[in-house]
Amino acid sequence: MEFVKCLGRPEEFYNLLRFQMGGIRKVIPKMDQDWLSVWVDICYLFVNGSTRYFKQIEIQSLAGCVGHAVCIFYLVLRALDTVEDDMTISVEKKVPMLHNFHSYLYEPDWRFMESKQKDRQVLEDFPTVISLEFRKLAEKYQTVIVDICRKMGFGMAEFLDKHVTSEREWDKYCHYVAGLVGIGLSRLFSASELEDSVVGEDTELANSMGLFLQKTNIIRDYLEDQQEGREFWPQEVWSRYVKKLSDFAKPENIDFAVQCLNELITNALHHIPDVITYLSRLRNQSVFNFCAVPQVMAIATLAACYNNQQVFKGVVKIRKGQAVTLMMDATNMPAVKAIIYQYMEEIYHRIPKSDPSSNKTRQIISTIRQQNLPTCQLISRSHYSPIYLSFVMLLAALSWQYLSTLSQVTEDYVQTGEH
């Protein structure tokens, strides 16, 4: 139970309780969808079905037409990604599909019925949902989405039979699958005039936003990727420690595995100065929330993974209460800087003296500190004893769960009576 994990952390407990009871709408209000057509509602159902709950909240929190454009943008890329991930499609057939996928947006009848992927519905219903709504978008949004889709398709095709060898190749791969997403989103924000033109024009910063998120996912998902036959860690780095990337999962190589892990995390931390600069330029609140939340969650994830053997034994995830607290706190730049400071200090104090990357890790954290980070953590919302607060919140959570269960039982009973 998620509440039990937060017993020693009253602020997380309180925020998780608010989240479960619908309090999240006070922080990120639900987008007014009255202007949406029936098909746009279906688009949002697709988003809700193919991504994590927090991503639903991020997309639905965006204001006005740009939220619609971002939703369609996400679904187009989800469909493209589904083609890339489907191992049942031969390379001979897949490469032309990836190269031409952007053109399918203008073909009213194009769909693909042969996919075996779990998200295949985005391909099967492509003409009735995705491409139809895409063609209803303003031309300024269509131009961005088509351009990014084309570049991503060619990039994905390039890496179909290609391993990530060097750190430069790692950056290139992450650019194709995530950096382009950051660039596309930034151009949509500027096109909507919610943000200044410089946000969409500075592709280097936008690319860095995407690279930071993708590298975090690749680092965290080592074991899952190994189990599914995928390898995204750069060979230039891991080959200094073992002969095969899969050797890190062997108990006798755990020390080398953690050293390689720390080196890759240090690499990813170099994007944080760009993240701070990018977020500092944003002026619209809904856009800021949309961009800041994934970044602070990635920072928290890297802190959890740093020097952690569990990355090679299971799944490392931040607590749900922790994620909810980050979502509620990351609504302004001072708060984001405080969060970054908190997790940088956490990593800094866990740097092993014997780690080969220790000096580089300390150096990048020192660089990040120079970006006007505060010298204190976020102010706690309460001054009561953590034990007392946790006890009170546990009672509140149990009461809420009891009432929710009772309400459901009553509803089922009434429906049974009606039948």
Active site residues: 173, 220, 230, 290
Taking a C-beta distance cutoff of 8 angstroms, is the pair 75, 130 a contact? Answer: yes
Both tokens of 284, joined, read 């619209």
Both tokens of 63, joined, read 């204001």
Classified as helix, coil or strand, 322 is helix
Half-sphere exposure of 374 (CA within 13 A, CB side): 14
Taking a C-beta distance cutoff of 8 angstroms, is the pair 156, 84 a contact? Answer: yes
Residue 250, phi-psi category: left (phi > 0), alpha (psi -120 to 50), beta (remainder): beta
Distance CA 283, CA 34 (A): 25
| One-character DSSP codes across 246-299 | GGGGSGGGHHHHHHHHHHHHHHHHTTHHHHHHHHHH---HHHHHHHHHHHHHHH
Both tokens of 364, joined, read 């990048």
State which H helix or E strand residue 339 sits in: helix 333-348
Question: Rounded to whole angstroms, what are the CA distances from 353 to 97, 259, 348?
Answer: 50, 11, 11
Tell me 384's DSSP state.
S
Question: Rounded to whole angstroms, what are the CA distances from 307 to 150, 240, 250, 297, 366?
Answer: 38, 18, 16, 18, 19
